[in-house]
Structure 1
Amino acid sequence: MNFEMTDEQRQLQAEARRLSRAELAPKAAHWDAKAEVPWDNINLLAKSGYMGLLLPEQYGGTGASLLDLVIVLEELAWGCVNTSLFVFSANAQGNRIVQLGTEEQRASYVPRIAAGTLLASHAMSEPGAGSDARKLRTSARREGADYIVNGTKCWISRGSVAGLFLTNVNFTDEGSKGLLLIEADTPGVEIGKIEPLMGHRGSPSTELIFRDVRVPADRRMSEGDLSASLFSMSFSRCCNAAMGLGAAQRAFDEAVEYLKTREAYSRRLADLQGLRWMVADMKVKLDAARLLIYRAAASAASGFPSEGEAAIAKTFANETALQVASDAMQLMGANGYSCDYPLERIYRDVRAFAIAGGTTQIQRNLIARSVLGQRDHAKG
């Protein structure tokens, strides 16, 4: 196994790191404090090709790999988690359309997503069906050349600014579940409550309501049945893990610099053995998380990574990010808890990753299933 990046990946990482530190990090606190979408950053990154980094060249993208994308997302999240979420969403939803949609759908939507002129969001969660997607109640009833959609979604990331929703629905006439592409300006589509969030405050999560929404039948994603839709989540889980890792790396870097410059009892904090061991443990966990993410991302030759490997990467990286952010705050003492330093914001942001995209408890179910096989429901 070769654990070295290619020259192209090093260049990609270096440029993302430069942009993150020079352009994203200085205003990250502003977007968080004001709960504003970082449009300046989004427009900058769209012009630089990041919104279509992974998408095929024939649809306006760059044609990079998932491994390339997670390398970039880690760097962007180091500077501003809110901004990284929009780059993730463009590539994730664009890739879903490429992998699960029709050629007409690809040609219609993917170039605009890659250009950053169309923001897409995945509308799956419902009040009674969060992690259990099989209990979806949003209905799509066939009427002539259209589907009539009714239902309510919740916790839809970037819902208030998205122009397109990849919507999980229950095709009631068939007794099956799948994906419909529903444009935000379609009559009957309503944005409900915007959630007051602890973190990810520049990436609004909203309620989404469908009232007799008429959707042309050709907006049904051809390969987007429930099984394919759930498997596609493994892509998002790799990206989720990478963004959490990037934020945790920032917390680690801040704490390390702090220890080098502060003193206690006439000694540098960096020379105190108890603190040095904490730093060592943090470094071990960050490196292990990175390798697990890279392993999962590298398995995505067919469009989506291994479900089991993605679940392992997300579980370990999510819990590592939260622990590292907490330890970094502890190492910086009262200053770590102060809003004058980025640690408290990072802590709030990384907390969300262990919930979004399937909780770490759900990931453990997926991991166990990959090891032990599908549970025998008939036997309980």
Structure 2
Amino acid sequence: MVHVLLLGTCDTKLDELLFLRTAIEEADPNVGVSLADVGRCETQHEAIKYTHSKLIESYGNGRNVDDLPRGELIKTMASFATALVRDLHQEFDGTCIDGIISAGGSGGTSLAAAVMRDALPIGFPKLIVSTVASGDTGPIVEETDITLMYSVVDVAGLNGVLRNVLSNAAAAIAGMACSYAGRRQANTTEAKIRVGITMFGVTTPGVDAIRKHLESEHNVEIYVFHATGHGGKAMERLVREGGLDAVLDLTTTEVCDLLTGGVMSAGNERLEAAAKAGIPNIVSVGATDMSNFGPKNTVPERYKSRKLYEHNPMVTLMRTSQEEAREVGRFIASQLKQHARDPAMIEVWLPKGGISMISTPEGPFADPSADEAMFNAIKNGLEESGIETRADKRDINDTSYARDIAEALMEKIRKHRSGQ
């Protein structure tokens, strides 16, 4: 039987959660639902399978949470629920879940999202009906695939609007869970080599050429990640989850935003996952000639006099300076050197003909001295590390460069698989 976990604060949302539970079962009789209570206080109801007290006893050593401030309570109950969901994902208490759903306000959404992000892999059905789903959802979803549905009215008493929304959510999670369970059981096809590639608008031609070459010449499946901050985080997460076999990190532009305060940083853990995993990992420096900001009037005052390029009305690019480029190079080298599990599986390619579409000779961001400062920082930082660097006269979007870097990755994959 397909099974869905319903997560909610039963002390404040019991009626709404019970309606959602019934709606899921009515949407598909083959879907069972277990209700887990993550509220502050114990709530008695026969429908609650994982009670407040059971969560605390099983995962919190009986800790008293009654007097915790609201923020601390949410974090604490989220940690208990995360442990429960991890168990249920692996089959626990006779149940293996195929989907998870929650409904609530900002607090409940924060709690449920933390559980879904931390306990479940990408690809597992996750849905939240939320009062804050129409606002800034980045902190809720982060780099995961949580589906959000705006509740329109507050999740505070049943009415015609909320019943319709909850019924739609019930049908959605039932369908998602059934589909997921079917795919999981039928997954008997020969596995392809899963390759992650990072891309930006100014490295798209290169990535397209790499993807077409690999797909036509080798048994691979390509996962392209848009290097907008969340894209880099998503790739790092998939590597940690074991969802990728190799990485061609062509576009490391998110490092620039991290170091300059741009809007597309992937955080200071960027470049760590593949190095730690020891999988084939070729890194290049695509789009490291730029930091990203919003519309031109949002560029910080300290950067107003810098070389700016309006990529579109919503995105303004700032050319990295020579010192910033040097810092980018040092960061890349430091991350790879510090976290390399197998240095022989890592290689860094340096395209001296241009690191983006707009930094080739005569391009608006052409700055050979800045590029050279970054290249030298990488080479110097990786000396005696066992990680090879390759300087190349071509630009990053050159089709022959794309073919050669793709084949270099395949060579590392062959060595990795043969245990060399």
**Please, what TM-score do these two structures have when normalized by structure 1?**
0.24
**Please, what TM-score do these two structures have when normalized by structure 2?**
0.22
Bigger proportion of residues as helix: 1
Asked which structure has the greater RCO (Cα within 8 Å, sep 6+), the reply is 1
